[in-house]
Amino acid sequence: MNQTQSIDQAVVTAAVDATITSRRSIRAFTQQQVPRETIQEILQVASRAPSGTNTQPWKVYVLQGQSRQTLVDKVCAAHNALRANPALISEFQEAYDYYPEKWVSPYIDRRRENGWSLYGLLDIGKGDKDKMHFQHQRNFQFFDAPVGLMFTIDRIMGRGSMLDTGMFLQNVMLAARARGLHTCPQAAWNGFTSIILPHIGAGTDEMLLCGMALGYAAEADKVNSLHTPREPVTKFTRWLE
């Protein structure tokens, strides 16, 4: 390898690593619009994600302008109605279990740390249900991002297709970062499938996997100062020789 090739590889490595490590879930966006061409470019690059036997099971719905706002209004209204009458929960069921039925350590500990770190940053105390409800509803406003994405797969597909789509989702987020954009993947939308699928024109044979906010980060907003910790490699890796 000559010196030029070595330098080029170092540049590529640094760029890729910076893209990955600078990705974080943004919870406050500016109103700056994202050109359709940029979104299309991101999705095209992301489509290079691997999938079992090249099935490419993902489907993407892009919401901007009025279609985005109408969905926000519908789901926020449902979210408020659900708070007023918890019995309505039967109308808002998720298509699959994103979280476990029973939480155990260390996962519950990480979940609690994440939740209270966010709430502490926003001065939301334990038992402050109004503030909690407001902050949770920020999900259903795409955190003010001008672009909302919904991802589905056909129900007939197996669990492996969810893994495939997860890799596609990661590609979307990294391709966005490479273009100066930020994202927030959102499983919070999943409970409102009955509202979302008809709104986006998805068939009843499709299953909503998650939503995602896409746009430019409002860097000055304190909520975006949250950086969640990661476990060291030594804690999640076992070397076999």
DSSP string, 196-227: HHHHHT--TTEEEEEEEEEE-B-TTSGGGG--
19-96+139-225: CATH homologous superfamily?
NADH Oxidase (3.40.109.10)
Contacting residues for 22 by C-beta, under 8 A, at least 6 apart:
177
Element (H, E) at 4: helix 3-22
Tell me: the pLDDT tens digits for 104-119? 999 999 999 999 999 9
pLDDT lower than 50: segments of the chain: none
Tell me: the pLDDT tens digits for 162-209? 999 999 999 999 999 999 999 999 999 999 999 999 999 999 899 999
pLDDT computed for residue 7 by the predictor? 72
Domain residue spans of the chain: 19-96+139-225
The Cα 196–Cα 212 span in angstroms is 13
* 97: three-class secondary structure by DSSP: coil
Partners of 149 in the β-ladder: 62, 212
- 212 phi and psi angles, rounded to 5 deg: -155, 135
The pTM for the full model equals 0.94
pLDDT computed for residue 2 by the predictor? 63
